[in-house]
Amino acid sequence: MSQFDVAVIGAGPGGYIAAIRAAQLGFKTVCIDAGVNKAGDAPALGGTCLNVGCIPSKALLQSSEHFHAAQHDFAEHGITVGDVKFDAAKMIERKDGIVTKLTGGIKFLFQKNKVESLFGKGSLKGRNGDVWQVEVDNKGEKSVVEAKHVIIATGSVPRPLPLIDIDNVNVLDNEGALNLTEVPKKLGVIGSGVIGLEMGSVWKRVGSEVTILEAMPTFLAAADQQIAKEAFKVFTKEQGLAIELGVKINEIKNDKNGVTVSYEVGGGAKTETFDKLIVSIGRIPNTEGLNAEGVGLEKDERGFIKVDGECRTNLPNVWAIGDVVRGPMLAHKASDEGVAVAERIAGQKPHLDFNTIPFVIYTDPEIAWVGKTEEQLKAEGVEYKKGTSGFAANGRALGLGKAKGTVKVLACAKTDRVLGVHMIGPMVSELVAEGVMSMEFSASSEDIARIVHAHPTLSEVLHEAALAADKRALHG
């Protein structure tokens, strides 16, 4: 029986990073994962994010943006193109190549850092003295490893919709939405969260008629509503996405005629038939097969593994990180928790602040934020001031042909400390990092305003918003 200091169950962004950091700290480490490649004939590390989530979706978004630009934007740059054609299968092939490269890269990193990789489903068998026994089930062939510490990083799975089964032929989850090799004439999307908006954007750009059905009455309720309202206007009026809010779905039928959705909205009944339907109503923690009940691992009422502020479970030397525990379901949150747990096992005192974790939606324009929204500050009774600036007059944005969007800086009215930064615009997924760093170092809006920002850059819009928070904007 193989013995280790640390056994990690799951090789997604939380698990594989935790395993690498543990190995760097001198622990004999094994990472157990049951992921397989698209063909289903070989192991694939990286979890949902690398295989059917973050990475492939960004590849498709970029491809669809290029196609849209060739059709609609090149002419104003003096570039004339002929009959622009789109090959969905080629786009998927490119996406698959990127996934293969990155998942193979994790295998290389494991070898470089001397992390042992075991293929199979990991579950907790119980304690043998002061070590844990972890069973590895490789398609029925079972083995057991022992480890002093276990890190559970099993991630999440799509939330099912009781009205219809996912077949990934006509009714799709995130994986099916990433593998369409033909452009559907009519595409329905249930859920206007990150997956719904990103996948809706991809297929709209390449020719689909897209309708998004959202149960919530508010668009992007988690985002700052000034930014959300601007986004809604861009997506619907300018880009042609049909987004229905406050929807109650009554029935879904999947037959030879397509996928028919019957629903109520605004007090009236509607029925739409789609060629394909994407179901993206959120994700739930993946604890299936862990034997949580058998070993007494506690979960909360929503199925998340209970942990304290340092990711310790109720079981000695068993930790849990990422989507399977409380907090935002984000790859970068999982990775940082993985690093922190490995360092805690080594006796270090790392710190992770959930208030400074950035959120990004990779639509066009992109949406990103960190910290409190204006609505949250009002609800909490916090006195604040704000500054906003737009990309419309930014030289770099105009040169890119992407001069839409806004940056908002929220700061404490008494101390000027930055409380939140919210953005919609070009490449704000990169720009939000400046807001994260400002908050991590307890910067004031004046600190951002007094930092020299290169000209011409998109970052000048954040600089201008910080100036505006002190009512001294220079360009607005």
Write out the two tokens for 225.
Answer: 């509503």
Question: Whats the size of the chain, residue-wise?
Answer: 476
Please work out, in degrees rounded to the nearest 5, the angle formed at the alpha carbon of residue 46 by the alpha carbons of 41 and 47. 85
What is the greatest pairwise CA distance in the chain? Answer: 73
d(CA 46, CA 29): 17
Phi-psi map region of 471: left, alpha, beta (phi>0 left; psi -120 to 50 alpha): left
Strand partners of residue 29: 6
Task: Please tell me whether the peptide bond between 456 and the residue prior to it is cis, using omega within 30 degrees of 0.
Answer: yes
d(CA 225, CA 229): 6
Whole-Å CA distances, 172 to 186, 313, 331: 14, 34, 22
Q: How far apart are the first and last CA of the chain?
A: 68
Whole-Å CA distances, 50 to 16, 23, 198: 11, 22, 16
Q: How does DSSP assign 107-162, residue by residue?
A: HHHHHHTT-EEEESEEEEEEEETTEEEEEEEETTEEEEEEEEEEEE---EEEPP-T
Q: Which residue bears the tokens 């954007």?
A: 201
Catalytic residues: 455
Cβ atoms < 10 Å from Cβ of 247: 22
